[in-house]
């Protein structure tokens, strides 16, 4: 019993005893013997226990009742461990799945930035992508906003980068955030050692360029040694000094990222990045002035943006101006910082939340069925208790206590399960890339779990409870063979089948999407292909860079086990798209036509390495030197859209003021991702690329046979043999890169499939339990039927007919629900529509087969009943 409760009991006793003693004293004083006085006092006082009960009633006793009910329920559950195990397991699965997905939503969308002061006063000010999602701003735009917006106090710009850094002669790749001068003061973050960056660091040529390292990096790389302050590090040709360490839990402003270094923005940007108003690669975050709102900032942003973009568009010809002026800007609340995850994952996460919600519903329906069966077998007990005057409300409460206890056990088990499951989900989303999400349960997650379990408890326990109590009095204490149980039980099974139908169709759609994506024509062979990048610790002069790259490629081609080797500036089907304006000789654009084409810069043998068929003309070869005539290769779509049926070989195209002669045509290759159609595309040889040469190329190796990753072991050595300053970076199989672009689709297929299967299992358990229970209740009737000549087959058919009827109802209802919800997942699908007949047929067959299998076991048992035994059965 509760401590307070026990104290109140003791006080009540002593209060009443005092009264009794005083009465006794009174009678003793009037001359009675002590014995007689006590007796008299007792008589006058009446039943002490009764008075106590009345006082307890007045005081309110729901807590006491609750404890009693829970104890009673615990005793009952301990007696049926099988029921307990099934019930807790199905609740744990339902609650666990919901908690995991919610933890993820919480981590991606709800959690505020850690350590940062008053995160809900932060705003993200940005241009918008066409879809209305936040994009980024340029350095000039950042300064324009900063100078013109009045409702913000401080603002800062931020961009991510992963440079090669050299400390103590050792080079490594670090994750860096380039931040403007007000970054730390805006966030209100204090250093744990040394100082953080400020405005004096964020100038073009600072007196001593400074860097700040993260607490995590400090621990990992320097073992938390305070001597790190004053250490020098080099990035490219810049020498910086470490001046401070961030506080322990500070993770910057981009959830999912864990930067090692924070560097001043202005000195780290190239001149082009600083001056070009359309070079958008910064995130701008600002703090609201006291009293200001995001709406106010947004209103100011509109005015300020209009000014800026008009100035940008002014020098362009009329036709382009409209496209430029179409762009929009907006201010977003940014309590969780710059958060691309929120936009990438929100839709799949919400759909998943819906799916696991349905799974929980299934688990509840299942549990409800189990409780109903239990209640039915306790009918006699309930009738007796009602007959001797137990209140109905009280009995319903007792049923609720049982499901409350189950829900509590399920919640605890579910929390444990979700802790593990969230980790699995984060890995799935991260897909071997760096993604740090804090999915540890916080108050929101715990509150969610509690609410979910209470809901589950009420959903599962209320209906059977009310039903049991309501049905019990009319047939009095006789064994009740009411139809009510069967009706409720049947509706529960139909509901389960309908929900399962929705989940199975969903799973089939997501699986089909994944299969279609894998089967879609890519124009290349991703299997057996290895890719990596090479970086030099210090940049080379252009000519030397070209020579070293050519030497490296030659060396790679001659490696044993390598069929072909080549290089490309951009990896395709990796989420990148590089487009440029082109003019084609003899072709005039229609006024509304897009004047761009996708571009890639590649080495000779690129198409051979990728297994992209060469349709016409020739590949790049050693003839195509930097000084020689400029040549280009185009894809089929390019050829068709600019030259119709004619051969493009020998024709000319112009881009960035350089004119190229087309020497070949290749098949269409998917560019940005597997979903988008191949764009028209042209290729330039890496020897003839104009302008500044890139710091690195992506190298590609096609393995002669087997796993391409086996080639990786010797690469490190080969690369450093070509030039000791070269470093191998990020070698991966190409298939893994393509897989990363369909993380969401793979997650939906895997989880959708998993939950679909789970739904099938839960529904089968429900059908099995329900039919087995009914067979046991109908033994008498079945016995009569058999005695009257029904064969075994008839009995099996009788049971299975009922299953089939429920199945049909479930499939029809479920199918209607899918149709109603079909708009929800539409954009996440590929190559299949939510109303696909094949998918529906498949789901129906899967569901039907499982349902009949689940119904067959009880049916068989029914057919094996001995009529004599059955008739004697009460």
Partner 1 sequence: MDTPKSDLLQGTLDVLILKIVALEPLHGYGIAQRIRQISRDVLQVQQGSLYPALHRLEKRGWLRAEWGEAETGREAKFYSLTRVGRKQLEAETANWDRLSEAVTLILRTAE
Residues that bind partner 1 (CB under 8 A): 11, 14-16, 18-19, 21-23, 44-47, 50-51, 54-55, 57-60
3-class SS string, 216-283: HHHHHHHCCCHHHCCCEEEECCEEEEEEEECCCCCCCCCCECCCCEEEEHHHHCCHHHHHCCCCEEEE
Q: Are strands 562-568 and 614-617 parallel, antiparallel or unpaired?
A: unpaired
Nearest distance from C-beta of residue 10 to partner 1, angstroms: 11
What is the signed CA dihedral for 422, 426, 427, 433, rounded to 10 degrees? -170
What's the closest the beta carbon of residue 19 comes to partner 1, in angstroms?
A: 4
Strands 329-333 and 681-685: unpaired
> Cβ of residue 14: shortest distance to partner 1, in angstroms?
7
Could you tell me the smallest distance in angstroms from the CB atom of residue 39 to partner 1?
A: 16
Least gap, CB of 390 to partner 1 (angstroms): 22
Which DSSP letter does residue 73 get? H
Helix axes 743-777, 837-863, angle to 10 degrees: 30
Nearest C-alpha neighbor of 274 from the set 122, 424, 409, 141: 141
Kindly state the smallest distance separating residue 196's Cβ from partner 1, in Å. Answer: 56
Q: DSSP assignment of 272-329, as one string?
A: HHHH-TT-EEEEEEEEEPTT--HHHHHHHHHHHHHHHHHHHHTTS-HHHHHHHHT--E
Nearer to partner 1, 59 or 470 (CB): 59
Is residue 677 within 8 Å of residue 576, measured between CB atoms?
A: no
Q: Which residues pair with 659 in a beta bridge?
A: 654
Cβ closest to partner 1, residue 26 vs residue 344: 26
Tokens standing for residue 345? 């994952």
- For residues 113 and 250, what is the distance between their CA atoms, to the nearest angstrom? 8
Residue 614: both structure tokens together? 């060469």
Residue closer to partner 1, measured from CB, 7 or 323: 7
Nearest distance from C-beta of residue 50 to partner 1, angstroms: 6
Structure tokens at 477: 């204490």
Residue number, 54 or 690, with CB nearest to partner 1: 54
Nearer to partner 1, 60 or 586 (CB): 60
Beta-sheet pairing, 631-635 with 658-666? parallel
Cα separation of 314 and 328, whole Å?
16
Does residue 540 contact residue 723 with C-beta atoms inside 8 Å? no
- 409: which 2 tokens? 């056990």
Comparison of 8 and 154: residue with beta carbon closer to partner 1: 8
Q: How far is the CB of 188 from partner 1 (least distance, A)?
A: 46
358's enclosing H/E stretch is: helix 340-377
Give dist(CA 256, CA 434) in Å, integer: 8
Q: Find the shortest distance in angstroms from Cβ 23 to partner 1.
A: 7
Of 38 and 640, nearer to partner 1 (C-beta) is: 38
- At 352 the three-state DSSP class reads helix
In the bound complex, what is the minimum distance in angstroms from residue 5's beta carbon to partner 1?
15
Task: Give the nearest distance from C-beta 49 to partner 1 in angstroms.
Answer: 11
Nearer to partner 1, 8 or 458 (CB): 8
**Which conformational region is residue 389 in: left (phi greater than 0), alpha (psi within -120 to 50 degrees), or beta?**
left
Which of 601, 603, 571 has its CA nearest to residue 731?
571
Buried b (16+ CB within 10 A) or exposed e, 289-310: beebebebbbebbeebbeebbe
Number of H helices, E strands in the chain: 27, 25
CB of 36 to partner 1, least distance (A): 16
Looking at beta carbons only, is 57 or 168 nearer to partner 1? 57
Residue 62 CB, nearest approach to partner 1 (Å): 14
What is the rounded distance in angstroms from the CA atom of residue 137 to the CA atom of residue 329? 9
Nearest to 260 by CA among 232, 208, 225, 218: 218
Q: Mutual orientation of helices 743-777 and 392-430 as an angle, nearest 10°?
A: 150
- Map tokens 């966030």 to a residue: 187
Q: Which is nearer to partner 1, 23 or 762 (CB)?
A: 23
Nearer to partner 1, 10 or 440 (CB): 10
Rounded to whole angstroms, the maximal C-alpha distance in the chain is: 136
Task: CB nearer to partner 1: give 16 or 743.
Answer: 16
Structure letter (DSSP) for residue 150: S
- Does residue 219 contact residue 260 with C-beta atoms inside 8 Å? no
Q: Which residues does residue 283 pair with via DSSP β-bridges, in sequence order?
A: 158
Rounded to a whole number of angstroms, the minimum distance from the CB of residue 57 to partner 1 is 7
23 or 370: CB nearest partner 1: 23
Closer CB to partner 1, residue 38 or residue 630?
38
Nearer to partner 1, 31 or 586 (CB): 31
Q: Least distance from C-beta 35 to partner 1, angstroms?
A: 21
In 431-524, where does DSSP find H-type helix?
443-471, 484-519
């Amino acid at each position: 019993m509760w401590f307070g409760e026990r104290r109140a009991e003791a006080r009540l006793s002593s209060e009443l005893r005092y009264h009794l003693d005083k009465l006794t004293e009174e009678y003793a004083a009037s001359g009675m013997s002590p014995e007689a006085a006590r007796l008299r006092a007792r008589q006058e006082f009446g039943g002490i226990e009764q008075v106590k009960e009345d006082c307890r009633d007045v005081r309110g006793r729901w807590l006491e009742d609750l404890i009693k009910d829970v104890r009673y329920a615990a005793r009952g559950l301990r007696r049926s461990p099988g029921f307990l195990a099934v019930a807790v397991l199905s609740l744990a699965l339902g609650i666990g799945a919901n908690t995991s997905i919610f933890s993820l939503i919480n981590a991606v969308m709800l959690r505020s930035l850690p350590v940062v002061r008053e995160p809900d006063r932060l705003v993200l000010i940005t241009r918008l992508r066409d879809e209305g999602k936040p994009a980024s701003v340029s350095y000039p735009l950042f300064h324009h906003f900063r100078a013109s917006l009045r409702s913000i106090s401080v603002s800062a710009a931020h961009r991510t980068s992963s440079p090669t850094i050299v400390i103590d002669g050792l080079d490594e790749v670090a994750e860096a955030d380039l931040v403007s001068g007000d970054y730390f003061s805006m966030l209100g973050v204090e250093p744990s050692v040394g100082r953080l960056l400020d405005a004096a660091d964020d100038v073009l040529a600072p007196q001593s360029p400074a860097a700040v390292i993260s607490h995590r990096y400090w621990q990992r790389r320097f073992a938390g040694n305070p001597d790190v302050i004053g250490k020098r590090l080099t990035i490219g040709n810049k020498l910086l000094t470490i001046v401070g360490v961030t506080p322990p839990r500070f993770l910057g402003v981009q959830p999912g990222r864990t930067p090692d270094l924070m560097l001043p923005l202005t000195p780290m940007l190239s001149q082009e990045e600083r001056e070009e108003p359309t070079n958008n690669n910064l995130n701008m975050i600002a703090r609201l002035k006291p009293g200001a709102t995001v709406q106010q900032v947004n209103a100011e942003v509109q005015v300020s943006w209009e000014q800026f973009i008009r100035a940008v568009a002014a020098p362009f010809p009329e036709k382009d101006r409209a496209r430029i002026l179409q762009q929009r800007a907006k201010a977003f609340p940014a309590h969780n910082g710059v958060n691309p995850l929120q936009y990438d994952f929100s839709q799949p996460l919400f759909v998943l939340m819906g799916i696991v919600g349905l799974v929980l519903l299934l688990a509840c329906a299942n549990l409800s069925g189990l409780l109903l069966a239990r209640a039915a077998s306790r009918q006699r007990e309930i009738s007796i208790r009602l007959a001797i005057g137990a209140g109905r409300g009280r009995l319903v409460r007792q049923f609720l206590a049982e499901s409350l206890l189950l829900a509590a056990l399920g919640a605890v088990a579910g929390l444990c399960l979700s802790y593990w499951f969230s980790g699995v989900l984060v890995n799935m989303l991260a897909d071997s890339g760096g993604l740090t999400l804090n999915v540890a349960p916080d108050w929101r997650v715990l509150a969610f779990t509690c609410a979910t379990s209470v809901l589950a408890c009420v959903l599962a326990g209320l209906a059977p409870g009310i039903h049991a109590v309501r049905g019990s009095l009319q047939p009095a204490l006789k064994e009740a063979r009411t139809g009510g149980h069967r009706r409720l039980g049947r509706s529960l099974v139909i509901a389960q089948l309908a929900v399962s139908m929705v989940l199975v169709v969903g799973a089939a759609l997501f699986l089909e999407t994944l299969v279609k994506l894998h089967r879609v024509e890519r124009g290349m062979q991703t299997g057996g292909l290895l890719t990596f990048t090479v970086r030099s610790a210090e940049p080379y002069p252009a000519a030397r860079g070209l020579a070293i790259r050519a030497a490296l490629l030659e060396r790679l081609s001659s490696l044993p086990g390598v069929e072909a080797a080549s290089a490309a500036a951009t990896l395709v089907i990796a989420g990148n798209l590089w487009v440029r304006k082109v003019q084609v000789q003899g072709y005039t654009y229609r006024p509304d036509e897009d004047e761009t084409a996708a571009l890639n810069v590649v080495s000779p043998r690129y198409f051979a390495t990728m297994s992209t068929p060469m349709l016409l003309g020739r590949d790049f070869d050693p003839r195509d030197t930097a000084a020689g005539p400029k040549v280009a290769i185009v894809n089929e779509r390019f050829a068709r859209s600019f030259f119709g049926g004619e051969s493009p070989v020998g024709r000319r195209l112009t881009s960035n003021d350089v004119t190229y002669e087309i020497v070949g045509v290749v098949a269409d290759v998917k560019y940005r991702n597997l979903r988008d159609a191949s764009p028209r595309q042209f290729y330039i040889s890496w020897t003839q690329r104009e302008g500044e040469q890139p710091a690195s190329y992506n190298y590609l190796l096609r393995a002669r046979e087997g796993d391409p990753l086996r080639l990786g072991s010797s690469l490190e050595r080969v690369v450093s043999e070509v030039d000791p300053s070269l470093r191998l970076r990020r070698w991966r199989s190409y298939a893994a890169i393509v897989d990363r672009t369909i993380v969401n689709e793979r997650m939906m297929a895997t989880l959708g499939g998993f939950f679909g299967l789970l739904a099938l299992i839960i529904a089968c358990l429900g059908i099995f339990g329900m039919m087995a229970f009914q067979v046991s209740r109908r033994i008498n009737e079945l016995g009569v039927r058999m005695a009257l000549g029904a064969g075994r087959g008839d009995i099996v058919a009788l049971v299975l007919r009922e299953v089939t009827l429920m199945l049909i109802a479930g499939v029809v209802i479920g199918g209607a629900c899918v149709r109603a919800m079909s708009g929800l997942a539409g954009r996440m699908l590929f190559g299949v529509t939510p109303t696909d007949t094949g998918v529906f047929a498949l789901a129906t067959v899967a569901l039907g087969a499982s349902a009949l299998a689940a119904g067959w076991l009880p049916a068989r048992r029914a057919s094996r009943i001995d009529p004599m035994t059955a008739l004697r059965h009460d």
